[in-house]
Amino acid sequence: MENHEWCAVVPAGGRGTRLRPLTSEIPKPLVKVCNVPLIDFAISHLIHAGIKHIIISLAHQGELIEKHINKTWTPDKLGDVKLESYIVDSKGNADAYRMMIDLVDAKKIVVSMSDVITNLPLKKLMDFHSNKQGIATISMKTVESNISQYGVVLIDKNHRIYLFLEKPAPMELYVSSIAQKADLYLHTNIINTGIYAFKKEIDDILEETGLNDFGGEIFPYLLDNDYKMYGFIENYYWMDCGNPTTYKWANWDLLRKYAWPITPNGKEYDGVFVMGVINSGENVIIDKPSCFGEYVELHDQVKIRELTTIGNHVEIGKGSEIKKSVIWDNVKIGDGCKITDSIICNDCKIEDNVILNDATIAPRCTISSNTNLSGKSLDLGQSI
């Protein structure tokens, strides 16, 4: 087994239940944002940080993810990076890591997520972890929101964590803790952004305790047993594509370049990202920012407005207008349609003069002509 300074483990076994109906047929790591599967963002992020050994721990629909990885991440593309994936029956992200312990060949490990978009400065987090020499480092980010929605962290001036709760009780519970140590600082509105760095000795703790989840079980255990754990708190882009609304936001944010240097798939032409040739009719309008997959056909007088993502093998009929929407692959949209703030998944047929507003259409749906749908979702294979 080759030794590296750093190795990465990516638990990618979640079912993506909150993201349904987008995950009706595919696992969450294969859901595309601006025509890039979420798992590819995670792998690229780790490679960009200089990590040479990446292990993907799969579970739900693992065969589909494995097939995608093998097709996309070829030896030519990986170079000197070793990427391997395994399907296991894990009970949580810590359990998924535990099942990969024998494959980990480094003294320091990054555990990343397979279903977020972030430009977290990972190399900086890794250096921070090495300098602090604690057993664990948690990636964190401050947000402007209500404390009850996010977390509370109690740290000292060196960023050592003394208390970390993702769903805190009333603030009065912490007053006595703060009073005991003058150099502790209370941070509110903190989110755990789900990327961790560990010393190899975390392996023994996982084996001994049998705990299955990092955030809910492992981190409280480490604090209770006085292990040194640190918070890496920076200002960076981070979006959990956990439900259809935040999924749309992630697409819009990439188009706006909020997550730079992460961008949509394809070559950019002044704010329009294109993967292949667009077969375009007369008087077609394409606003920026927007992005297009391969084999896209736009009939006469089609209007693609800002913040729209179009996938592969998509045909849009005469006079239709698409705005702030995400269209997946193998979709046919008829004439005179108006689609706004909506998601249309794979293999759907939208007939003529359909109006969709804030709608989520599951894969393999058919919507008949002159239908008006607002604020609703269709389930897998539904016809209306």
Nearest CA to 48 out of 79, 13, 75 is that of: 79
Sign of the CA dihedral 266, 79, 138, 215? positive
Q: 253 lies in a domain? A: no
Strand locations in 248-325 (E): 267-269, 272-274, 278-280, 285-286, 290-292, 296-298, 303-304, 308-310, 314-316, 321-323
Are residues 279 and 211 located together in one domain of the fold? no
Q: Which domain holds residue 337?
A: 265-378
pLDDT confidence tier of residue 155, bands split at 50, 70 and 90: confident
Q: What six digits make up the tokens of 258?
A: 């909020």
Residue pointed to by tokens 């359990």 = 95
Amino acid at 110: V
Q: What six digits make up the tokens of 360?
A: 């989520």
The H or E element containing residue 165 is: strand 161-165
List the CATH number of the domain containing 101: 3.90.550.10
Are residues 42 and 184 located together in one domain of the fold? yes
Give mean pLDDT, residues 12-28: 86
Are residues 115 and 236 located together in one domain of the fold? yes
Q: How many domains does the chain have?
A: 2
Are residues 296 and 326 located together in one domain of the fold? yes
Domain-ending residue, one of 184, 214, 244: 244
CA distance 38 to 30: 6
Q: 255 lies in a domain? A: no
Are residues 232 and 287 located together in one domain of the fold? no
Cα angle value 361/366/367 (rounded, 5°): 80
Are residues 329 and 198 located together in one domain of the fold? no
Query: Over the stretch 108-150, which tens digit does the pLDDT of each residue have?
Result: 999 998 888 999 999 999 999 999 999 999 999 887 765 445 5
Q: 113 lies in a domain? A: yes
CA distance 337 to 353: 4
Are residues 114 and 223 located together in one domain of the fold? yes
Are residues 233 and 344 located together in one domain of the fold? no
Are residues 237 and 279 located together in one domain of the fold? no
CA distance 59 to 241: 19
Are residues 236 and 269 located together in one domain of the fold? no
Say yes or no to pLDDT of 3 above 90.
no
Are residues 234 and 115 located together in one domain of the fold? yes
CA distance 36 to 293: 10
Q: Counting runs of H as helices and runs of E as strands, what totals does the chain give?
A: 9, 33
pLDDT confidence tier of residue 4, bands split at 50, 70 and 90: confident
- For position 175, what pLDDT does the model report? 47
Cβ neighbors of 65 (< 8 A, separation 6 or more) are 12, 27, 29, 30, 39, 56, 58, 85
Domain-ending residue, one of 212, 244, 276: 244
Amino acid at 348: C
Please, where are the H alpha helices in the chain? Answer: 38-48, 62-72, 75-78, 93-98, 122-132, 175-180, 202-209, 219-224, 244-255
Q: 252 lies in a domain? A: no
As a whole number, the mean pLDDT across the chain is 89
Q: 350 lies in a domain? A: yes
Q: 73 lies in a domain? A: yes
pLDDT confidence tier of residue 373, bands split at 50, 70 and 90: very high
Cα–Cα separations (whole angstroms), residue 102 to 86, 111, 126, 200, 320 = 12, 15, 22, 11, 55
Q: 210 lies in a domain? A: yes
pLDDT confidence tier of residue 349, bands split at 50, 70 and 90: very high
Residue pointed to by tokens 């920026």 = 288
CA distance 384 to 382: 7
Give mean pLDDT, residues 209-224: 88
Q: 251 lies in a domain? A: no
List the CATH number of the domain containing 347: 2.160.10.10
Domain-ending residue, one of 194, 215, 244: 244
Contact status, residue 111 vs residue 95, Cβ threshold 8 Å: no
- For position 185, what pLDDT does the model report? 65
Are residues 57 and 184 located together in one domain of the fold? yes
